[in-house]
């Protein structure tokens, strides 16, 4: 059997994709320096069952919290907000990932078909736990 790969989408694509088929949006918020994020990319998101569930039931977006490009989502512009000499956070990562005004990495969140946050988890998720969450939230 051929190994399946995870389908990645951009925030800008979600509105038009939703016209074709409404699905919840799964967002993985990470940074390049986070070892737990890298671990999830290399293990959790390489798991065949996780890939199948995300590809079939969700639109999956991987968002670098320190990305500096402007992102238009649902007609609203979100930009990078510097907070130091060479540090900052993207406003969209903050909007989706902050719990009690704090963000930690990795954060995995799911938006329902009305783009409301219905799930947030701000720690490493292994494949087994990810599958349980995806099953619960895709029904």
Burial class (CB in 10 A: 0-12, 13-18, 19+), 94: middle
* Domain residue ranges of the chain, discontinuous segments joined by +: 11-15+23-137
Taking only the tens place, the pLDDT of each residue in 110-125 is: 999 999 999 999 999 9
Residues with Cβ within 8 Å of residue 124, at least 6 apart in sequence: 36, 39, 40, 106
Asked if residue 2 has pLDDT above 60, the reply is no
Give the model's pLDDT for residue 3: 58
Length of the chain: 139
Taking only the tens place, the pLDDT of each residue in 46-103 is: 999 999 999 999 999 999 999 999 999 988 999 999 988 888 999 999 999 998 889 9
Give the model's pLDDT for residue 48: 96
CATH 3.40.30.10 fits 11-15+23-137, yes or no: yes
Give the model's pLDDT for residue 1: 44
């Amino acid at each position: 059997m051929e190994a399946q790969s995870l389908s990645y989408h951009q925030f800008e694509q979600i509105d038009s994709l939703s016209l074709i088929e409404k699905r919840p949006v799964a967002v993985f918020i990470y940074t390049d320096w986070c070892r737990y994020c890298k671990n999830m990319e290399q293990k959790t998101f390489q798991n065949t069952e996780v890939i199948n569930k995300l590809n079939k039931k969700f639109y999956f977006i991987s968002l670098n919290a320190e990305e500096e490009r402007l992102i238009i989502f649902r007609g609203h512009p979100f930009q990078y907000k510097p907070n130091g000499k060479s540090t900052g956070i993207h406003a969209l990562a903050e909007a989706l990932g902050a719990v009690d005004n704090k963000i930690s990495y990795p954060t995995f969140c799911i938006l329902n078909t009305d783009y409301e946050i219905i799930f947030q988890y701000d720690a490493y998720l292994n494949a087994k736990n990810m599958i349980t969450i995806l099953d619960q939230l895709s029904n």
